Chains A and B, each alone.
Chain A
Amino acid sequence: MAYDKFTILQSTAVPLSTENVDTDQIIPARFLKATEREGFGDNLFRDWRYDSAGTPKADFVLNDSTYSGKILVAGKNFGCGSSREHAVWALYDYGFRCVVSSFFADIFKNNCLNIGVLPVTVTPAFADKLFAAIAADPLTEVEINLPQQTITLLATGDAESFDINEYKKDNMQHGFDDIDYLINMATEIEGFEANR
């Protein structure tokens, strides 16, 4: 479904440096039973965020009011495991519009692009810089400039450019999704199908 357009985002960021965060942690399987795409944000990182009695765990970053923002700065190999798009719905629903990592799992990255959460891949050195800057000042602002394809630490001007293919970039900037594109190709697809 169409989502909010993404051009330039300036925000504080939430750091989560744990490596190999799988989508079972982002949204545990037992919360996948909905038949509509609503309310997944409440269970984002459920078992890291709450104990079994439902009390927030003080040591988890989402429960630490020092940190907030629309950008999640994540550890290496973020989003591995299950293909559940619910993981991205949960991030989006919670309020994240961008996830930054030095390494993303494939399906997760595709899912992000399909629903309007921008995955930004940075070098490990820049990721370290981000973590350090946020630790030093949780209110530090990060700018994601999609048209320019840059990510900038506004306080210092430290910046890096990131990759995204033109097609996906255009979609993100307009809030389009692939299905609009595919539906417009119906005739070509029909011709192809008929020969299979």
Chain B
Amino acid sequence: MEKNTLFDKIWDAHVVKSVPAGPDVFFIDKHFIHEVTSPVAFLNLEKRGIGVKYPHRTIATPDHNVPTVNQDQTIKDKLSRMQVEKLRENCAKYGIELHDLGSAHHGIVHVIGPELGVTQPGMTIVCGDSHTSTHGAFGAIAFGIGTSEVEMVLATQCIMQSKPKKMRISVEGALGKGVTSKDIILYIISKISAAGATGYFVEYAGSTIRSLSMEARMTICNMSIEMGARGGLIAPDQTTYDFLKGKQYAPAGDDWEKAVAYWNTLRTDDGAVFDQELTFDAVDIEPMITYGTNPGMGIKVVDNIPTTEGMEGSNKTSYLKSLDYMGFAPGEPILGKSVDYVFVGSCTNGRIEDIRAVAQFVKGHKKADSITAWIVPGSREVEKQAQAEGLVAILEEAGFELRQPGCSACLAMNDDKIPAGKYAVSTSNRNFEGRQGPGARTLLASPLTVAAVAITGRITDPREVFQN
């Protein structure tokens, strides 16, 4: 019998037709849309005089540009307001389910999909957003698309895709104290570079990955794109089923049993071949932080910033340009650098487990005076739960400012911008120049490291604070 990977099994089941010497006509089970990458797609549908073919397969929420204060009021920024209103209009016109600002399931699209149980094993899921890879944590093929493709999905429920190559990344062993799934993925990206998985779809495997919660798995799959991968996925297991059971859109009754039986087939067969295989040892992974302007520029928080040794040409120029932007010098330690902002949130680390981790950590402490600390739940549901568990009280007591759900300072399309030249240690996924506001300097880290930085006001090894 042919040995297949998990990825092959799902991909092949969604090919409507293979175009000779071309891509596959690829069927999409679920499509998420938000206010920023969808308006032009709808406009083009109108220009072509066609509608939305399967509205029940699309779900919408405004998240990228929404304010994180006073969400019950009219959005002040005119352009943001227009985008959100367009989304409302388009959803109403075509009968698309919308989780609007202030509603029970409003939030970042990649947080609410799993929360609602829309995201399920074996599915194909796309969204006009590169972090759609998050949903791969459930054993789904999920990836980001451009606006032209958003239009294709709305019009036909299909896109034209060439099948990517396959890579398996295994992580084995027990994680050390103070090491989280964010550190795992930052470590992997630092090893293989921001382009290291370009052209591939990644399956994450191994005992370390298996031991992770769904939230932690989502953090890993979320950042697949930061090493260039189209997406990343993890085979579904009991952890997946426990998370999904009882969720609003999850199958129920007999359907649940049937679904689980199918989901249990979604494994990579022994002996199946990948185009590339990498293995990492969990013991080598320590708390990580980035020092440059792409997510591949990460080091252990206790290490020094790399020197330019061995670099030449445009590689060296680009490296120095990046450090110059960050205000760092090659070879210097990163520990102890002073920080101005911390941001806990985004589709990488804005889920309840992340907020719990930060709250547990800062309980009984105060943030440093020099630090502005923002905490932005990934969804209303997360916010509600954080309230119910008393986490919000702990965080506010520690001096954190709790904001309402949205992408917020992850991409700074709204007012949540880090000022030029300031340093932010952030749980988000991108440290690109200006990502958190023009001139802002971003260092990516885990929620634990961010919590430690909030308390000390400096780049800190969370394991040190732990001990006290």
Q: Which residues of A contact B (CB under 8 A)?
A: 1, 17-20, 22, 24-25, 28-30, 32-37, 47, 52, 75-77, 80-86, 88, 103-107, 110-111, 114-115, 165-168, 177-179, 181-183, 185-186, 188-189, 192-193, 196
Shortest Cβ distance from residue A78 to the other chain B in the assembled complex, whole angstroms:
10
Chain B residue, CB-CB nearest to A52: B438
Chain A residues with CB under 8 A of B36: 32-33, 84
B404 part of interface (Cβ distance < 8 Å): no
Can you list 7 contacts pairing A with B, beta carbon distance less than 8 Å?
A20-B318, A36-B43, A76-B195, A80-B228, A81-B225, A107-B146, A192-B16
> Assuming A24-B433, A24-B435, A83-B146, is B195 touching A189 (CB within 8 A)?
no
- Are B27 and A192 within 8 A (Cβ)? yes
- Are B159 and A33 within 8 A (Cβ)? no
- Are A33 and B158 within 8 A (Cβ)? no
- Are B152 and A178 within 8 A (Cβ)? yes
Chain B residue, CB-CB nearest to A88: B146
Chain B residue, CB-CB nearest to A20: B294
Q: Which residues of B contact A (CB under 8 A)?
A: 16-17, 19-23, 25, 27, 29, 36-37, 39-40, 43-44, 47-48, 50, 54, 64-65, 77, 79-80, 82-83, 86, 128-130, 143-149, 151-152, 155-160, 162, 164, 194-195, 198-199, 225, 228, 230, 293-294, 296, 314-315, 317-318, 321, 411-413, 420, 430, 432-435, 438-439
- Are B54 and A193 within 8 A (Cβ)? yes
A168–B119 Cα distance when bound, in Å, is 31
- Are A81 and B130 within 8 A (Cβ)? yes
Shortest Cβ distance from residue A126 to the other chain B in the assembled complex, whole angstroms:
14
- Are A19 and B155 within 8 A (Cβ)? no
CB contact between A83 and one of B77, B86, B128, B162 (< 8 Å): that residue? B128
- Are B433 and A189 within 8 A (Cβ)? no
Chain B residues with CB under 8 A of A111: 146, 148
Shortest Cβ distance from residue B413 to the other chain A in the assembled complex, whole angstroms:
5
- Are A30 and B152 within 8 A (Cβ)? no
> Assuming A17-B314, A80-B195, A83-B128, is B80 touching A167 (CB within 8 A)?
no
Shortest Cβ distance from residue A172 to the other chain B in the assembled complex, whole angstroms:
12
Shortest Cβ distance from residue A57 to the other chain B in the assembled complex, whole angstroms:
13
Chain A residues with CB under 8 A of B413: 29-30, 32-33
Chain B residues with CB under 8 A of A183: 50, 155-156
Shortest Cβ distance from residue A125 to the other chain B in the assembled complex, whole angstroms:
12
- Are A35 and B39 within 8 A (Cβ)? yes
Chain A residues with CB under 8 A of B293: 20
Chain B residue, CB-CB nearest to A87: B146
Shortest Cβ distance from residue A1 to the other chain B in the assembled complex, whole angstroms:
6
CB contact between A1 and one of B17, B22, B44, B228 (< 8 Å): that residue? B44
A173–B20 Cα distance when bound, in Å, is 17
> Assuming A83-B128, A165-B23, is B47 touching A24 (CB within 8 A)?
no
CB contact between A81 and one of B39, B157, B315, B432 (< 8 Å): that residue? B432
- Are A36 and B40 within 8 A (Cβ)? yes
- Are A35 and B83 within 8 A (Cβ)? yes
Chain A residue, CB-CB nearest to B294: A20
> Assuming A77-B228, A106-B164, is B412 touching A30 (CB within 8 A)?
yes
A110–B161 Cα distance when bound, in Å, is 9
- Are B37 and A166 within 8 A (Cβ)? no
- Are A179 and B434 within 8 A (Cβ)? no
